Structure 1
Amino acid sequence: MEEVLFIAALFIALPWIVLHYITKWKTSATITTDDEALLEELYNLAKRLDDRMDTVERLVASDNPDFKPARLVHDSEVDNQQLRELEQLMAEKKGASQ
């Protein structure tokens, strides 16, 4: 009787457990639509905050000639290029999903 239980555990239970967790691992590795929406919202928030920071720094610099911005490079083209590429990818993804 013990041999039957051992064989059943070896050939049925063990593969079932392994396949169950492989399936869980594969489904959790993908990003959900809720996660995508949250990332897009956070991206838009970060972009708005960056614009506000530029405005605040410009206003303070106009009032105080000794003001030195905290950021090393103001409105960097390298950063802007990366943002444009990200916006293009997001637009392509939206176009493909519709």
Structure 2
Amino acid sequence: MSMLVFFFVPAVIFLTVVAPIWLILHYWTRSRQNKGLSDEERQTLEDALSVAERLEKRVATLETILDAEHPNWRTAREDDYRRGGS
């Protein structure tokens, strides 16, 4: 009986006190390590931003050309849409 108590009491203390604290600290440090972006993620984000900026410039250029060639292109498209055309 004393051997059972010898192993049982420390096991219960470990599982109720030490293990939860250990798990909490482990995952807390993991989340702190993973807070920022990795170098690869940062580079991908910068590439996506540069593509978006180039596309924005292209759209602005196309709108300028359309404004010069067809001054009412915006309202004409809205009128077609309201009339049920495509």
Q: What is the TM-score when the length of structure 2 is the normalising length?
A: 0.69
Partner of 1:8: 14
**Count of aligned pairs:** 69
Q: 2:48 aligns with which of 42, 52, 60?
A: 42
Superposition deviation, residue 10 in structure 1: 3.3
Partner of 1:51: 57
- Higher CA-based Rg: 2
Matches within 5 A, 1:12-91: 12-68=18-74
Taking the aligned partners of 1:5 and 1:65, their CA distance within structure 2 comes to 82
Higher relative contact order by CA 8 Å / sep ≥ 6: 1 or 2? Answer: 1
Taking the aligned partners of 1:31 and 1:43, their CA distance within structure 2 comes to 15
What is the percent sequence identity of the aligned residues? 23
What is the Cα-based RMSD across aligned positions, in Å?
A: 1.7
Partner of 2:79: none
Amino acid at match of 1:29: K
What whole-Å deviation, never above 9, does each CA across 1:7-44 have from its counterpart, x for those lacking one? 12234322221111001111121111111101110110
